[in-house]
Amino acid sequence: MIPILFEDAEALVINKPGGLPVEQPRAGGPSLDAQFPSLRLGFQREPVAVHRLDTDTSGCLLLARNPKALTRFSRAFEERQVSKLYYGVLAGVPEQTEGTVALSLSKISSAEAGWRMIPAKKGKPAVTHWQLIEVQAGLALVAFRPETGRTHQIRVHAASGIGIPLLGDPVYGAGPKGPDGARIKRTMLHAAGLRIEREGKEPVIAHAILPADMRALGFAEPAGGFAEPDVADQAADSED
């Protein structure tokens, strides 16, 4: 059963496992949406994902429980009323302890390598604020607060902006091999916090603790958790 982090008549926020795609891949196999019937929880309709997380990314995923809620939540993303906090493990230690990456992003593709996002002056504006949390064995746990929400934003901004890719990233990093030669099963990125403002109602607030595979690298749950983020997300695209 998928852990539920927040529930009311409009919304569910679930803790998505890393490595599980939200939608079923073309080649088939397990997917999160196959479990949506079990998340009705007495409601007539299955919940619908409002935004996207990459297959490897774990953590907070917002589901709408009815069409009106889906419209309102989608609008909240568009109007910058959603804030997100991510934790990622960098495959190295940055020289600075905090900063802001502002690199516009554009999508490219080729028959040989498939598609990916690259920094490009004529791309869509993308801004990510980051802060170093902890260092363990040559790896760094970093908090990311995306100000925009472009596809693969955090992954590209880590690799091309900070200059160190996320551990395990097969596209923008060294892939599944860790610094000690151990196999890394996924890109180490976790959607730790989500806050959505709602007119006339209390905001949706959810926090997903640091997953076991990140803790196994020696990192502890950061103090304070997810409280009042000061940077709002801009779009409903996947930013990881």
CATH number, domain with residue 161:
3.30.2350.10
202 domain-assigned: yes
Q: Alpha-carbon distance 176 to 130, whole Å? A: 24
201 domain-assigned: yes
33 domain-assigned: yes
Q: Alpha-carbon distance 187 to 198, whole Å? A: 32
198 domain-assigned: yes
Number of neighbours of residue 193 by Cβ within 10 angstroms:
23
Name the band, by pLDDT with cuts 50, 70 and 90, for residue 238: low
What range does the domain containing 57 cover?
4-215
Number of independent structural domains in the chain: 1
145 domain-assigned: yes
pTM attached to this predicted model: 0.91
Q: What is the pLDDT of residues 121-172, one digit of tens each?
A: 999 999 999 999 999 999 999 999 998 889 999 999 999 999 999 999 999 9
Among the listed ranges 22-26, 91-95, 119-123, which one has the minimum average pLDDT value? 22-26
pLDDT of residue 27: 79
Has residue 237 got a pLDDT over 80?
Answer: no
Q: Is 237 a catalytic residue?
A: no
Q: Two tokens at 42? A: 């007495």
How many distinct helices (H) and strands (E) make up the chain? Answer: 3, 12
Q: Alpha-carbon distance 227 to 222, whole Å? A: 12
240 domain-assigned: no
230 domain-assigned: no
Kind of pairing between the strands at 58-64 and 189-198 = parallel
221 domain-assigned: no
Question: DSSP labels for 42-105?
Answer: T-SSPPEESS---TT-EEEEEEESSHHHHHHHHHHHHTT-EEEEEEEEESS--SSSEEEEE--E
Percent of the chain at pLDDT exceeding 70: 92
Catalytic residue among 33, 54, 169, 230: 54
pLDDT of residue 235: 43
Q: Alpha-carbon distance 173 to 38, whole Å? A: 36
Name the band, by pLDDT with cuts 50, 70 and 90, for residue 14: very high
